[in-house]
Amino acid sequence: MPVPGGSRRAAGHHGAGAAVPAGKMVAPGALRVVRCGGSPRHGARAVFSNDSKYLLCASGDFVKMYSLATEETLRLLGGHGGLVTGVQLNPHNCMQLYSSSLDGSIKLWDFMDGIPIKTFTVGHKLLALYALASSEDSVFVVVPKSSERDTFQLVSVKLTKAAGQDLEAKELSVVLDSVDASPKCIAFGRAGEYVASVKEVNLQVYFFKQKQLNRFSVSAVKAKSGNNHFTCVACHPKEDCIATGHADGKIRLWRNFYHRKEYTFSTLHWHHDTVMDLAFSVEGTSLLSGGVESVLVLWRNESDYQKDFLPRLGSAIEYISMSPDGAFCCTLHTDNRITIINSNLRFSKSIQGLIKSMDIKTGLVVDPRTKALVLNGEPGHLQFYSLQSDQQLFSLDIVQRQYIHQAGLKQVDLVKVAFSAQGKWLATVEEREEVTDPELQLKLWFYDEETQSFKLNTRINTPHEDHITGMCFRDMDESEDDSLLLVTAGRDCVFKVWVMVEDTDPEAQQSVSWSCDFVGSYHNYQATNCCFSEDGSLLAVSFEETVTVWDSVTWDLKCTFCHPPGKIRNICFGRLTCSKYLIGATDYGFLCCWNLLNCALEWSAHLNILVLQPDPLSEYIAAVSWLSKESSLFVFKPNEPRPIYIQRNLCKEKIQLAAFVPRDEPEMISAEKYLWLRRSQLFFLTDTQELMTLSTKSLEERLTPASKQLAVEEGLLVTPFSLLFGRHRRQQSQEDLGKLAVHNKHWQDSPAVKELLHTPAHVLPSASFLCPIFINSLLISKENKSAEEVSDEVEMESENTEDDSDEERDAAEMEQEDTNPMELLGETICKLSKSQDKELRKIRKMDYSWISAF
């Protein structure tokens, strides 16, 4: 499944991009395709860090680390070459994280610092990852069976402790055969004693100690209402109880499954459709379940009657995970949002970037007021997505109807959106798909500055009798209100012009409302597109194969253009110096440019253009073509048929939508070739709803503008307790990390070795004499002072960092401790009495190895 990665790798110029010398920002480096939002799907359950401050979450090829306090992305752990399918904290070290990926590797990270520690190459595709505290040096993964297709097995992988960054992990042992590929279908029971796996209608439980495998199944065909296939499984953390979710919405709680026959199960039923994930609370007293209803259900005491709900989560819940202290619960949704819910079922935080919607019908629109990208969000809502912060600003509930999550139910959704030039007016079209005639509504919203919110001004039912295919405002920058026009084109063969009128009715509270001014049609063809020229004097409406140009004052048909065969797909007017041109793309694969002055075809090109996007601030027009399974970008000025910029192989997916977003301040681009990027930036959305842009800079630089390169030491050791603990821990971790380095350094720097290697052979003493010295120099001596006494003085010097015994080191530290608090704490610590001091020392001498477990 290299889909998410493939697109980015498709950007042909990465080699050149990396070669840009440091510091030369404006140098004409190659333009890269950079993904900037709409992260691909979550591959696995999210994981909380042990202190519940951070959330780690698989997102495409990356593991993202979020801060729960601020909802911001702290780190991006990148390095996997495929979708990340599993994220698990290292059960033996809570500061480390295992991640598995489809590229067949398991990586161990230090996630606080974002450093990859080790990479284990397994070789197979890894579909899920489980790490258990009970298993010392192995993790469990789901891999496809080599012999058969579409069968998977759960294997345990021994992770070797060998040194080095890239390791092979080939010691696999099969635990369970024929398991489901989904990570939700396997769960490990109390203290890792057993593993439960579900597939289709079977539940199998394997006990590690007894090496016993029990199989249970539910009858395959039970009722018409739905299949009762297993969808997910969860194990009780304290008791022997397995909860399974089913496709018909039931949850079964299995007990006594040590016996093949006398097992029991009870059923909980609330969901009307598939249970998508289950999670037990930390203590196991309650069970959380979620499904397509987008309602989180909390079952208390495994009873059907005691349940609580958190409804309106926005979209189907895909994964549920609990924080280790039980304070939070996190749900990952199908539309890429992450919701943090606190223990009493209240919304706490929500981390949402670009929300994935079923189908983006509105296109990409830029809100002139907030400079946010506006498109379909959750059903019936418009999402305002901030490009700068990669966060959703808000989602505007246009339809204002409760969305009912049910398959096959047709619901009202937004299909068209348009903003007036200053963002003062917003026009939305909502539609409910029906077989015969759609239910349409055109709403015109006014931005009320007093309340800082949009206010509905006019609602028009059934503005057209068939689908609305195009809508645009007449954009006049000076924006006198009477020049404001809205045009809608519909498949009912007409286009309608809406104007603002002053209300004559004395009862009406509003001073203005919208009404239809003109209805135009052309030979009873379906109207497909409409757009205004820059000065607003001309309106172009395309009717199937023909483009008609209308005078926007008298509504007379001025002229028609046609480029048969092929229907018109897109039209737009040129701007600024090129305002005499009209550009159209046909679905027969032609891009045509007509001159409006002499009504003649200026030039045409044979290109299968899907998107035609004029830059609102310059003459440039971007066109995205789709040919032989790749998208290419052409940027041109209408007055010359030669494109200014061509980027072939923009991405492997179809690009249906693009938008130019004006920059706040023009970027300094010296290269002639990229002048078109100076004033605005081109964003485009692929079929898989990834937002990409073309940039000479990389993603990080753009997305964290307020960040700074500054390493500030975390100096918050203010209590004596934390001082003690913190010091010890830090030292230990340094020791852990440093061991390898010290080792290496040791024998390279050792003068004995140097001497041995660099002295000419004829000067050297006999080998028998040198040997013990050499061997000794390689040893890391502990407590055996005799060995040190044997070795010569030079070596003593080199090893004097090492040769302290444990006790001695302790003493040394104690001394440090005596001085350090003086500095850091001032008088407070000095007041400690002798007895207290002694006690502290005692504590100090105790064994702290258990701390490392945290």
Partner 1 sequence: MTPGAIGCDAQPRGTSTCAVWGAGAMAGAACGGEEARAVCTFSPRERRLFAISSPDGRLQVWDTASSRLQQEYVPSAHLSAACTCLAWAPPPAAARPPPPSKDGPQRKKRKSEVAEVDKQLDILAIGTAVGSILLYNTVKGELQSKLDGGHDNRVNCVRWHQDSCCLYSCSEDKHIVEWNTQTCKVKCKWKGDNSSVTSLCISPDGKMLLSAGRTIKLWDLETKEVYRHFTGHATSVSSLMFTTVKPMNENKPFDGITGLYFLSGAIHDRLLSVWQIRSDRKEKNAVMSFTVTDEPTFIDLTISEVKEEPVKLAVVCRDGQLHLFEHILNGYCKKPLTSNCTIQIATPGTDGDSTPKPVPILAAAFCADKQSLLLVYGNTLQPIIEKVSVNTTESPVCLIRDIQKVLSLKTDVALTKVKTPVVNSDTKVLVPGIPGHSTAVKTPSAGKEKKKNKRKSGETEESIEERLGALGIDVTKVKTPSGLPQTDSFAVLLVQGLESNDAEILNRVLNTRKENVIKNTVARMPVHAVIPLLHELTKRLQGNPYSASLMVRWLKSIFTLHASYLSTLPDLIPQLGVLYQLMESRVKTLQKLSRLHGRLFILVTQAAASETVQDVTEVNQTAKLVYEDESSEEEGSDDEMIADKDSDENWDEDEEKEEQSDEQDMTVEKEINGDSDLEPENESEEE
Residues 40-99 that bind partner 1 (CB under 8 A): 53, 67-72, 74-79
Paired strand residues for 271: none
Which residues 789-818 are close enough to bind partner 1 by CB under 8 A?
A: none
The distance of closest approach from Cβ of residue 24 to partner 1 in the complex, given in angstroms and rounded to an integer, is: 9
DSSP 29: P
Report if residue 506 touches partner 1, rule: CB under 8 A.
no
Binds partner 1 (CB under 8 A): choice among 90, 457, 608, 613 = 457
The distance of closest approach from Cβ of residue 781 to partner 1 in the complex, given in angstroms and rounded to an integer, is: 34
Which residues 549-608 are close enough to bind partner 1 by CB under 8 A?
A: 553-554
Report if residue 821 touches partner 1, rule: CB under 8 A.
no
Report if residue 712 touches partner 1, rule: CB under 8 A.
yes
Please check whether residue 209 is in contact with residue 193, taking contact to mean a CB–CB distance below 8 angstroms.
Answer: yes
Distance CA 842, CA 840 (A): 5
Report if residue 778 touches partner 1, rule: CB under 8 A.
no
Distance CA 68, CA 49 (A): 10
The distance of closest approach from Cβ of residue 32 to partner 1 in the complex, given in angstroms and rounded to an integer, is: 5
Q: Which is nearer to partner 1, 70 or 256 (CB)?
A: 70
Candidate segments 191-199, 223-231, 366-374, 610-618, binder of partner 1 by CB under 8 A: 366-374
Query: Rounded to 5 degrees, what are φ and ψ at 249?
Result: 95, 0
Report if residue 830 touches partner 1, rule: CB under 8 A.
no
Please check whether residue 271 is in contact with residue 289, taking contact to mean a CB–CB distance below 8 angstroms.
Answer: yes
Binds partner 1 (CB under 8 A): choice among 151, 343, 389, 781 = 389
Binds partner 1 (CB under 8 A): choice among 133, 191, 220, 508 = 508
Q: Which is nearer to partner 1, 231 or 458 (CB)?
A: 458
Q: Which is nearer to partner 1, 162 or 716 (CB)?
A: 716
Distance CA 173, CA 283 (A): 32
Candidate segments 167-175, 380-388, 584-592, 626-634, binder of partner 1 by CB under 8 A: 380-388
Residues in contact with 330: Cβ distance below 8 Å, sequence separation at least 6, in sequence order: 46, 48, 55, 320, 321, 322, 323, 338, 339, 340, 341
Report if residue 515 touches partner 1, rule: CB under 8 A.
yes
Residues in contact with 594: Cβ distance below 8 Å, sequence separation at least 6, in sequence order: 547, 561, 581, 582, 583, 584, 600, 601, 602
Distance CA 541, CA 496 (A): 11
Measured from the Cβ of residue 201, the count of other Cβ atoms closer than 10 Å reads 18
Binds partner 1 (CB under 8 A): choice among 393, 675, 787, 832 = 393
Which residues 266-325 are close enough to bind partner 1 by CB under 8 A?
A: 312, 314
Binds partner 1 (CB under 8 A): choice among 264, 400, 577, 722 = 400
Q: Which is nearer to partner 1, 248 or 430 (CB)?
A: 430
DSSP 757: H
Q: Which is nearer to partner 1, 252 or 496 (CB)?
A: 496
Q: Which is nearer to partner 1, 17 or 183 (CB)?
A: 17
The distance of closest approach from Cβ of residue 170 to partner 1 in the complex, given in angstroms and rounded to an integer, is: 21
Q: Which is nearer to partner 1, 446 or 573 (CB)?
A: 446
Binds partner 1 (CB under 8 A): choice among 4, 11, 271, 310 = 11
Candidate segments 246-254, 327-335, 453-461, 595-603, binder of partner 1 by CB under 8 A: 453-461
Kindly provide the b/e burial profile for residues 678-703, where b requires at least 16 CB atoms within 10 angstroms of the residue's own CB. bbbbbbbbbeebbbbbbbbeebeebb
The distance of closest approach from Cβ of residue 352 to partner 1 in the complex, given in angstroms and rounded to an integer, is: 7
Give the contact letters, 634-673, x = binds to partner 1 (CB under 8 A), - = no: ------------------------------xx--------
Integer angstrom CA distances of residue 239 from 3, 191, 192, 282, 327: 41, 10, 12, 12, 21
Count of residues engaged in binding partner 1, rule: CB under 8 A: 112
Tell which phi-psi region holds residue 578, choosing left (phi > 0), alpha (psi between -120 and 50) or beta.
alpha
Please check whether residue 319 is in contact with residue 341, taking contact to mean a CB–CB distance below 8 angstroms.
Answer: no
Report if residue 110 touches partner 1, rule: CB under 8 A.
no
Please check whether residue 106 is in contact with residue 169, taking contact to mean a CB–CB distance below 8 angstroms.
Answer: yes
Residues in contact with 117: Cβ distance below 8 Å, sequence separation at least 6, in sequence order: 96, 108, 109, 110, 165
The distance of closest approach from Cβ of residue 268 to partner 1 in the complex, given in angstroms and rounded to an integer, is: 27
Distance CA 808, CA 69 (A): 43
Which residues 328-347 are close enough to bind partner 1 by CB under 8 A?
A: 347
Which residues 115-134 are close enough to bind partner 1 by CB under 8 A?
A: 115-116
DSSP string, 202-229: EEEEEETTTTEEEEEE--S--BTTB---
Give the contact letters, 716-745, x = binds to partner 1 (CB under 8 A), - = no: x-x---------------------------
Q: Which is nearer to partner 1, 339 or 586 (CB)?
A: 339
Distance CA 616, CA 31 (A): 21
Give the contact letters, 692-711, x = binds to partner 1 (CB under 8 A), - = no: ----xxxxxx--xxxxxxxx
Please check whether residue 466 is in contact with residue 490, taking contact to mean a CB–CB distance below 8 angstroms.
Answer: yes
Q: Is 40 helix (H, G, I), strand (E, B) or coil?
A: coil
Report if residue 519 touches partner 1, rule: CB under 8 A.
yes
Q: Which is nearer to partner 1, 150 or 449 (CB)?
A: 449
Distance CA 40, CA 356 (A): 9
